[in-house]
Amino acid sequence: MPVSKNRRKDGTKAPKPAPRKRRKAEASPAPLPEDLPPRVVMEKMMANLQRGLLAEDLAGEQAADPLHAAQDIMYDAWEGATKRDRIALAKQALGISELCADAWLLLAEDEAKGIIEKRAVLEKAVAAGEQAVRRTLGEEAFEEEEGNFWGILETRPYMRARAALGRIAPHLTR
């Protein structure tokens, strides 16, 4: 004898299944205001503020640092209207300081032809960034500041270069 969905084999009525719990719609993050400046502009403002606060302590030494001058040029380069302008500013920054990881990064993204050349330029960016961090924060910075790197403005170019190299690594075979 056929058994209906609501009856057991012994003829008794089966209990109704428990209702499924509905998942709450995951709250999407609130949209950012449209008048919020881009990340690069905010980072430039933070760097200028930080240097301004340090200027009293360093009595102008910070302003004379070629790496900081090169990084200031890179903030302008990221806002460049054309690829040609960005590349010219990146090369200008490298003329001031070879340790400007962001300049190497921009050249890797905007000028490199092919993934092999891009990898080579990104490796230069990582090496320059690492050397810049060691020079700016000291040899022990990589151990002492582990976990805090993104919060330190001087390490961000190194972190960006390292991330860009990591993004292309799956496309490379040695």
In a domain, 149, yes or no: yes
What are the b/e assignments for 117-147, b being 16+ CB within 10 Å?
ebbebbebbbbbbbebbeebbeeebeeeeee
Total number of domains in the chain:
1
State yes or no: pLDDT of 25 exceeds 60.
no
The pLDDT tens digits for 107-146 are 999 999 999 999 999 999 999 999 999 999 998 888 888 8
Note the pTM of the prediction, 2 decimals: 0.67
Range of the domain at 113: 39-171
Q: Is the pLDDT of residue 17 over 90?
A: no
Asked if residue 135 is part of any domain, the answer here is: yes
In a domain, 18, yes or no: no
User: pLDDT of 37-74, one tens digit each?
Assistant: 566 666 777 776 666 655 555 445 445 689 989 999 99
Q: CA-based angle 148:162:103, to the nearest 5?
A: 105
Averaged confidence pLDDT in the chain? 80
Domain membership flag for residue 15: no
More confident: 40 or 79: 79
Report the pLDDT averaged over residues 1-9: 60
pLDDT of res. 51: 63
Copy the structure tokens of residue 147.
């976990």
Q: Cβ distance 108 to 118 under 8 Å?
A: yes
For residue 45, is it within any domain?
yes
Classify residue 106: in a domain, yes or no. yes
